[in-house]
């Protein structure tokens, strides 16, 4: 057996110069953020989490600049592309003028990777999303960008990320996430999801108002008829999705805690009770990740 066949699974981080590759690797993988980001990382309280999770080789593939496409995919036996678990392509969402060349590199890398690691998962990070906060029609712009990079039938997972919040960390948690619904019971998955999350308790309720699964601490107020929840959440979500593709609804409960509701399917709803003063963006990301697994598990 060759050395390469014995090589552990690896993750490739790729993108054009300036997209944020070095910073993402330094922060998420190496736990060595630049000085200007150290205070941000301390506030996020996620500084050591990824170093424990990423027990695999992570390589950066720089596209463009001094590198030609021949430099990057020049060999039909290049060991870089063997035993790859995931390709993470980073796109600066603000650099619209570079989308065409980024798309060219993205397609070429995916095609080349499929020759050697056919089961590799493909992720696209729409990075530096924080710089778009003041722009108008952001949802339309993001939707068009996603449509540009996703071809019909392709399986590309997209995350909107910023190094100034927890979104990049949760994107990489998704990169590492297996199909846990096939490996552990849902109850155990929900308990595991609570560790280090925004939630005190989570549950899945049926349309009959019965708890199907629950974990953590949930007050009696959660135990209201789930059919009422489902009707309200579905109606509100449908209205929001018409413009912003938002499918989570946050309802304030008391002054410092929130409850989040999201439909899993037409028959059940996910409910999460936050800790005090949660970071709402992080809470929404966690909700989306949990519900994606639940959707597969309750089919």
Instruction: Select from 160, 177, 194 the last residue of a domain.
Output: 177
- Measured in residues, the chain has a length of 299
Distances (CA, A) of 79 to 8, 66, 144, 187, 262: 12, 21, 35, 40, 43
Instruction: Select from 156, 177, 198 the last residue of a domain.
Output: 177
Please tell me the predicted confidence (pLDDT) of residue 50: 56
Render pLDDT for 46-59 as a digit per residue (tens, 0 to 9): 545 555 555 567 88
For the ranges 58-67, 247-256, 265-274, the lowest mean pLDDT is seen at 247-256
26 has a pLDDT exceeding 90:
no
With contact defined as beta carbons under 8 Å apart, do 94 and 128 qualify?
A: yes
Q: What is the dihedral of CA 236, 238, 243, 244, to 10 degrees?
A: 70
Q: Is 29 helix (H, G, I), strand (E, B) or coil?
A: helix
* Confidence band of 131 (pLDDT split at 50, 70, 90): confident
Residue 276 CA to its chain's centroid (Å): 23
Q: Which structural domain, as residue segments, surrounds residue 150?
A: 4-177
Q: Is 34 helix (H, G, I), strand (E, B) or coil?
A: coil
User: Is there a single domain that holds both residue 225 and residue 239?
Assistant: yes
Instruction: Select from 177, 195, 225 the last residue of a domain.
Output: 177
CA distance 74 to 220: 62
User: Is there a single domain that holds both residue 240 and residue 198?
Assistant: yes
- The CATH number of whichever domain residue 68 belongs to comes to 3.40.50.300
Render pLDDT for 205-246 as a digit per residue (tens, 0 to 9): 776 666 777 788 876 555 554 555 556 655 555 554 554 444
pTM assigned to the model: 0.58
User: Is there a single domain that holds both residue 119 and residue 54?
Assistant: yes
- The CATH number of whichever domain residue 247 belongs to comes to 3.30.450.30
CA distance 281 to 38: 20
């Amino acid at each position: 057996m060759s050395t390469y066949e014995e090589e552990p699974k690896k993750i490739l981080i790729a993108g054009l110069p300036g997209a944020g590759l070095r910073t993402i690797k330094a922060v998420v993988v190496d736990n060595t953020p630049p000085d200007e980001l150290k205070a941000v990382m301390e506030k996020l309280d996620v500084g050591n989490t990824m170093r424990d999770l990423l027990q695999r080789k992570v390589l950066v593939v720089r596209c463009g600049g001094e590198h030609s496409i021949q430099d990057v995919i020049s060999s039909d036996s290049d060991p870089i592309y063997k035993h790859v678990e995931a390709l993470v392509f980073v796109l600066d969402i603000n650099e619209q003028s570079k989308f065409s060349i980024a798309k060219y590199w993205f397609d070429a890398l995916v095609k080349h990777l499929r020759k050697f690691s056919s089961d590799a998962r493909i992720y696209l990070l729409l990075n530096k999303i924080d710089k778009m906060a003041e722009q108008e029609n952001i949802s339309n712009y993001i939707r068009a960008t996603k449509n540009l990079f996703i071809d019909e039938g392709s399986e590309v997972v997209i995350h909107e990320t910023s190094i100034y919040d927890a979104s990049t960390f949760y994107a990489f948690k998704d990169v590492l996430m297996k199909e846990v619904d096939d490996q552990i019971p849902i109850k155990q998955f929900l308990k595991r999801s609570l560790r280090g999350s925004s939630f005190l308790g989570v549950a899945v309720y049926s349309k009959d108002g019965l708890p199907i699964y629950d974990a953590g601490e949930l007050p009696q107020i959660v135990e209201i008829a789930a059919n009422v929840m489902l009707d309200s959440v579905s109606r509100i979500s449908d209205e929001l999705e018409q413009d912003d593709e938002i499918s989570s609804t946050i309802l304030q409960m008391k002054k410092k805690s929130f409850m989040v509701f999201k439909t899993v399917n037409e028959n059940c709803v996910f409910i999460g009770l936050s800790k005090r003063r949660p970071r709402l963006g992080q809470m929404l990301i966690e909700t989306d990740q949990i519900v994606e697994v639940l959707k597969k598990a309750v089919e």
